[in-house]
Each structure stands twice: as C-alpha cells, then as structure tokens.
C-alpha cells in the first residue's frame, strides 16, 4: 500500500506541479512564499479530489450491492453500520488483513505493478473533470487546453494494467483474460475516439470546460445521437461490465486476468473498476449532456445528477443482461460501431459547417 500512495503522489505531482514553474516565479521577482502558497493549495486540491474519487467509489459499490440484491430478491448488506453502509469499509479492512499470495511461477515485478497501472490513471482522470461552479468558486483542479484529450488518454491506459496483470500471473485463464482484454481494448478504442472527435469538431475546442459551455442551449446528444450511442456502448465495453465482461467473465474464466490476485491487490483492481465506471459516467455527462450546465441548481449538482443517471444505467445493464461471445463483441466493435462513428463524424462536420454558430 505504501508503494501505491508513493506512486499516486508522484504522478499527481507531475501533472499538477509542472504547471507552477519555480524558476519563472523567481525570475519574475515574485516572492518564494507565493510559490509555497500555490504549492500548498495544489496539494490540498489534489488530496480533495483523491478523497472525492474514493468517496464516489465507496458510494457506487454500496448502491451497486443494494441494487443487485434488490434485483435478485435478496436483502444485500445490512449488518455493518446503519443499513449496511459501512460494509465496504469492513471489506477493505478484511482485504488488508488477508495474506498477500503471489504464485511461485508468476512474474513478481509485473504482478505487483499491474494493479497500480489500472488504478492510477482512473484517479488522475478525476482531476481533469470540470466540476462546475458553486456561485463564484470555479471547481476545476487543472484548466488548460486539451483536458478532454488527456481524460480519454488516461482512460486508454487503464486496460494496459489488466493485460500486464493477466500476463504476469502465468495462468491459462489469466492469459485468456489478458488476450480478451487486449482484443476488446483495441476494438472499442477506435470508435470511442472517433465519436469524441466529432464532439470536438462541433465544440471547436479540446478544453472540457469549453465543450460544456458550448452546450449551453442544445446538449450534444441532440445533434449527435449516433455518436452518443457509439460512445456509450464503447464506454460500457471499455469498463468490461456485463454484457461485455469477457476479460473477467466469472463463470467461464474464473474472473480472468485477476484470477491469481488476492487481498488488497484484488481490492485495488476492484476499486479501479468502479472508479472507471464513475469516471466514464462523468465523461459521458460532460461530453454529451452538457456537464454542469443547467437551470436553478448550482453546476456541480447538475453534473452529479447527470453522472448518477449514467451510473444507474451502467448498473442496470450489469445486473440485467447476459454475456455476449467474444466474436460477437469484436463484430460489434469493428463492423458496426466503427462505420457508425465515421458516419457520425461526417454528419457533425456538416453541422459544424452549416450551423456552426448555434454551438
């Protein structure tokens, strides 16, 4: 766990502190104290976002377990804390106490590194989401051009950790899981990016904040319903939740790439999955539903409402749909989603040329 926090802090540091250039501060004659103040603000912001992502994950896992129990006619967690709300924290304590088993045939270094590669980009993605404004306070941790590109870039890195974990385990089932994860990753990455490009064409900016402000009157889901469907399906595919949970598939591959993982290493994979779910729900809300734009309530409330709707839809697909086969999944990705996303790119380019002033 120490290594985990160490890595987290280093990566946060690279993204955040590179922005505050020490030498320019000194050369321009600003006092060093100002730089220190900036640094403290940056650290506090980053810790707040980290806490926020963790709290989101905890809430999602609780809601998921209750929801799934409801659908399966069970009660769900109800012993630890009021209505079982503290169940996840108890689970985390249990996972920390468990023995950390590493198979003798496994590749030890790669085996240890893999969960962090899954988890770190997910939490890094949270600092790039525009959380909107509470009266005058603008809740955006980093704001520069190309934030949406960075968000998607972090989301493409996460599956690499799954592949490395599956390969390092030296186990037939894990190898199958890794292979499927790679195939699925490549199959859904391209349509997702192309449908994102059409949004960027419409908004005329790579900045997530400007993409949100471009949807002040008409959210992008209306001119780009095709792109929304492609992006949404690709997001479900990238999270590898049912019906596209082929890398894990509990009943045939014994949870695929994470078969050999136990204890807190498995816990990090688990939290990374749910964090990815929250992140992708927020990204869909920002890109297609207008993020924090909305009447009456402050922006952050709107973003959370929109994100929560998508999280519920993801959970609903999880508990209600069966698993597709791997060939059906790849067919969906390459034969249907890719042409649809290219068609959508052409349509949105036409819209941008003829009705460019609307957005």
Report the nearest approach of other proteins to the CB of residue 75 (Å).
Answer: 41
Helix (H) or strand (E) holding 76: none
Q: Which is nearer to other proteins, 87 or 120 (CB)?
A: 120
Report the nearest approach of other proteins to the CB of residue 116 (Å).
Answer: 11
Report the nearest approach of other proteins to the CB of residue 102 (Å).
Answer: 15
Q: Which is nearer to other proteins, 124 or 289 (CB)?
A: 124
Q: Which is nearer to other proteins, 156 or 300 (CB)?
A: 156
Find the DSSP H helices in 204-262.
Answer: 208-213, 225-239, 250-253
Pair of tokens at residue 150? 């960075």
Q: Are 292 and 209 in contact (CB under 8 A)?
A: no
Q: Which is nearer to other proteins, 178 or 345 (CB)?
A: 178
Closest CA to 61 of 24, 92, 35, 40: 92
Size (the chain), residues: 359
Q: Are 180 and 247 in contact (CB under 8 A)?
A: yes
Measured between alpha carbons, how far is 198 from 214 in angstroms, rounded to an integer? 14
* Beta bridge mates, 133: 138
Report the nearest approach of other proteins to the CB of residue 35 (Å).
Answer: 14
Q: How many CB atoms lie within 10 A of CB 14?
A: 10
Q: How many CB atoms lie within 10 A of CB 19?
A: 11
Report the nearest approach of other proteins to the CB of residue 146 (Å).
Answer: 4
Report the nearest approach of other proteins to the CB of residue 54 (Å).
Answer: 23
Q: Which is nearer to other proteins, 168 or 230 (CB)?
A: 168
Indicate the burial class of 20 (C-beta count within 10 angstroms; 0-12, 13-18, 19 or more).
Answer: middle
Judged by the rule CB under 8 A, the positions of this chain that interact with other proteins are: 14-15, 17-18, 22-23, 105, 107, 109-110, 113, 117, 144-146, 149-150, 152-154, 156-157, 159-160, 163-164, 167-168, 170, 175, 178-179, 182, 185-186, 189, 193, 206
Q: Are 243 and 323 in contact (CB under 8 A)?
A: yes
Measured between alpha carbons, how far is 252 from 173 in angstroms, rounded to an integer? 9
Report the nearest approach of other proteins to the CB of residue 192 (Å).
Answer: 11
Token pair 């804390």 is found at: 81
70 vs 60, 75, 146, 314, CA distance in Å?
Answer: 15, 7, 41, 16
Q: Which is nearer to other proteins, 60 or 141 (CB)?
A: 141
Q: Which is nearer to other proteins, 13 or 81 (CB)?
A: 13
Q: Which is nearer to other proteins, 94 or 108 (CB)?
A: 108
Q: Which is nearer to other proteins, 24 or 328 (CB)?
A: 24
Q: Are 184 and 246 in contact (CB under 8 A)?
A: yes
Report the nearest approach of other proteins to the CB of residue 56 (Å).
Answer: 23
Strands 133-134 and 137-138: antiparallel
Report the nearest approach of other proteins to the CB of residue 166 (Å).
Answer: 9
Q: How far apart are the first and last CA of the chain?
A: 46
């Amino acid at each position: 766990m120490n290594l985990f926090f160490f890595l987290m802090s280093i990566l946060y540091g690279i993204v955040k502190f590179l922005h505050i250039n020490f030498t320019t501060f000194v050369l321009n004659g600003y006092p060093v104290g100002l730089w220190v103040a900036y640094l403290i603000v940056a650290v506090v912001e980053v810790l707040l976002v980290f806490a926020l992502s963790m709290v989101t994950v905890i809430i999602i896992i609780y809601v998921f377990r209750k929801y799934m129990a409801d659908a399966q006619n069970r009660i769900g967690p109800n012993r630890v804390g009021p209505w079982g709300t503290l169940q996840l924290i108890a689970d985390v304590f249990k996972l920390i106490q468990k023995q950390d088993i590493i198979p003798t045939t496994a590749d030890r270094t790669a085996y240890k590194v893999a969960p962090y590669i899954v988890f770190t980009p997910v939490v890094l993605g949270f600092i790039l989401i525009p959380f909107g404004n509470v009266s005058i306070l603008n809740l955006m941790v980093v704001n520069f051009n190309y934030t949406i590109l960075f968000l998607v870039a972090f989301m493409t890195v996460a599956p690499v950790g799954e592949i490395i974990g599956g390969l390092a385990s030296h186990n037939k089932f894990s190898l199958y899981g890794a292979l499927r994860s790679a195939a699925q990753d490549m199959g859904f990455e391209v349509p997702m990016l192309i449908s994102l490009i059409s949004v960027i064409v419409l908004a005329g900016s790579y900045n997530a904040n400007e993409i949100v402000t471009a949807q002040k009157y008409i959210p992008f889901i209306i001119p780009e319903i095709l792109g929304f469907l492609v992006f949404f399906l690709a997001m479900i595919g990238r999270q590898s939740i049912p019906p596209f949970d082929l890398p894990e598939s509990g009943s045939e591959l014994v949870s695929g790439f994470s078969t050999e993982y136990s204890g807190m290493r498995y816990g990090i994979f688990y939290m990374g999955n749910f964090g990815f779910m929250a992140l992708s729900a927020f990204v869909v809300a920002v890109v297609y539903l207008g993020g924090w734009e909305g009447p009456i309530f402050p922006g952050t409330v709107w973003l959370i409402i929109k994100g929560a709707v998508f999280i519920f839809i993801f959970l609903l697909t999880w508990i209600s749909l069966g698993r597709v086969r791997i060939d059906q999944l790849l067919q969906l990705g390459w034969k249907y989603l890719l042409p649809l996303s290219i068609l959508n790119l052409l349509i949105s380019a036409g819209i941008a040329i003829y009705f460019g002033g609307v957005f």
